[in-house]
Amino acid sequence: MPARHWGVLAVLCGAIFLEGIDVAMLNVALPSIRADLGLSTGALSGVVSAYVLGYGGFMLLGGRAADLLGRRRMFLLWLTVFLLFSGLGGFAEEGWVLLVARFVTGVAAAFLTPAGLSLITTTFPEGPLRNRALLVYAGTAAGGFALGLVIGGLLAAVGWRWVFFAPVLMSAALLLAAIPLLKEPPAAGRPAARSFDLAGAATVTGAMMLLVYGVVRLEHPGDGLPLTVAAFAGGLALLAAFAAIERRSAAPLVRMGIFRAGALVRTNLMAALLTASFFGFQFLLTLYLQELRGWSAIETGLALLAAAADVVLAPTLTPWLVNRYGNARVVLGGLLSGLLAYALFLGVGLDWAYAAMLPSMLLIGLMFAFVYGPLTIVATDGIAEHEQGLAGGLINTSFQFGAALGLSAVTAVNVAALGGADTPEAGLAALRTALAVPVTATLVAAVIAVIGLRAAARPRAGQPLPVP
């Protein structure tokens, strides 16, 4: 690999690491923010939801904007926006300022992430070199979240504002490195910017924001059910309008034909289920360690570090396995590892030593190492260069939507199972019930992986199907 390519990969991995560490650090610092600014529980939840709304709502638009308006241009512009509004959050003295800062930061990440992914897929030629670059990228993303839990705990102990200022410093360093290193891929085949599908952009963004908002509201099943139903109904209606607009548009934002690829649809479904299972489990584990066991935020972050084994495995072991067995089999093996990890945790008790939890943590690290990167490879493999941003937007939308859905589902099940009881035993029983969510999500993902393997084993005559 040329030295410049190593530099490009380092910058793009730094950006996805920044996105992961930013989210994780804030989650750990929320109690300190509430104490200092006097925020209500609803306002504190809104700080998290505002980022999710911006990220999930604008991801598809961000992916297509990279294709149409230039990947390097979008990356540099939105990295700058990320820097500015992360800094705004650090200076916040009132809750509404934090809400605005987190929403715009989420929007910036929605444009930044698919632009970075498509820069990798257009810089590195399809094949082993691109696969290795994507696996390093995926391992860095997961490592950012795992390390962010620990770093966030340390920074919050000094002052919660550093949780916002640290990404500013990192963004500035990345921006200085990116300007000379990143080159705009050739514009050949790129649709003219004047043909930008504004109607499609408005409807799909509105649809995704309403759907994500509906998912977030599932965390409070008894609170304003009509509003939750209205959010889902409005989102689905806008999604239907978007599909109708795209079929008639001369230059659609999303070409509907891209969904005819069974492998692409299966990959995005598995991506959503993967993050739904992990983020749901991580939330339950945090409740268990901090509320039922009395562990500190730093101790909880350190406990999750074992799950970051994919930082080492993704760029080393996974490429060898993919070359030898193919993406589909590696993905299936990873999902089965995750299924075993969650199943082992079903027997959790109030007196468990960390040694009893460690097998689950390590197996989750295997799952991410074997699933996250290969899914990213399949999601962008065989896609035309002028649609790489769209493919990146789709897979990242699936990851983000799945994370929001998993968090909301385990919260709703946990609250319902708890039923107002306030004893450690009741809390443990509710947690065990909610663990059914990550177990079920991973099981469904494994079934989809098996279907993909069977489809790949029975290609149509003269027209082999992609893997998985």
pLDDT of residue 175: 95
Distances from the Cα of 79 to the Cα of 9, 70, 179, angstroms: 16, 14, 11
Distances from the Cα of 390 to the Cα of 66, 255, 267, 275, 347, angstroms: 8, 9, 14, 20, 42
Structural domain boundaries, residue 260: 3-182+197-457
pLDDT of residue 409: 85
Question: pLDDT digit string (tens) for 249-291?
Answer: 777 777 777 777 778 889 999 999 998 998 889 888 888 887 8
Alpha helices in 124-224 (DSSP H): 128-158, 162-181, 198-217
pLDDT of residue 205: 81
- Residue 464 belongs to a domain: no
**pTM for the whole thing?**
0.82
SS3 percent helix, strand, coil of the chain, rounded to 5, is 85, 0, 15
3-state DSSP call for residue 196? coil
- Residue 463 belongs to a domain: no
Residue 376: which of 346, 409, 398, 406 has the closest Cα? 398
For residue 27, what are its two tokens? 């989650």
Question: 439 or 55: which carries more pLDDT confidence?
Answer: 439
- Residue 215 belongs to a domain: yes
pLDDT of residue 138: 81
- Residue 468 belongs to a domain: no
Angle between helices 198-217 and 41-69 (to 10 degrees): 150
Question: pLDDT digit string (tens) for 24-39?
Answer: 888 778 778 888 888 7
Whether pLDDT at 193 is above 60: no
Question: pLDDT digit string (tens) for 419-465?
Answer: 777 788 888 999 999 999 999 999 999 999 999 888 776 655 444 44
Whether pLDDT at 157 is above 80: no
Taking the mean position of all CA atoms in its chain, how far away is CA 29? 20
For residue 254, what are its two tokens? 């999303």
Residue 267: which of 437, 382, 439, 115 has the closest Cα? 382
- Residue 369 belongs to a domain: yes
Whether pLDDT at 333 is above 90: yes
Name the CA dihedral angle for 28, 77, 125, 371, rounded to a multiple of 10 degrees: 20
CB 235 within 8 A of CB 207: yes
For residue 257, what are its two tokens? 């034909």
Question: 124 or 39: which carries more pLDDT confidence?
Answer: 124
For the chain, the straight-line distance linking the first and the last C-alpha, in angstroms and rounded, comes to 28
pLDDT of residue 463: 46
Question: What mean pLDDT is predicted for residues 10-14?
Answer: 93
CB 119 within 8 A of CB 12: yes
- Residue 358 belongs to a domain: yes
**Furthest C-alpha separation in the chain:** 66
Buried b / exposed e along 138-152 (16+ C-beta atoms within 10 A):
bbbbbbbbbbbbbbb
Give 465's DSSP letter. Answer: P
Task: Please give the tally of structural domains in the chain.
Answer: 1
Buried b / exposed e along 390-402 (16+ C-beta atoms within 10 A):
bbbbbbbbbbbbb
- Residue 212 belongs to a domain: yes
- Residue 81 belongs to a domain: yes
Which CATH number does the domain housing residue 352 bear?
1.20.1250.20
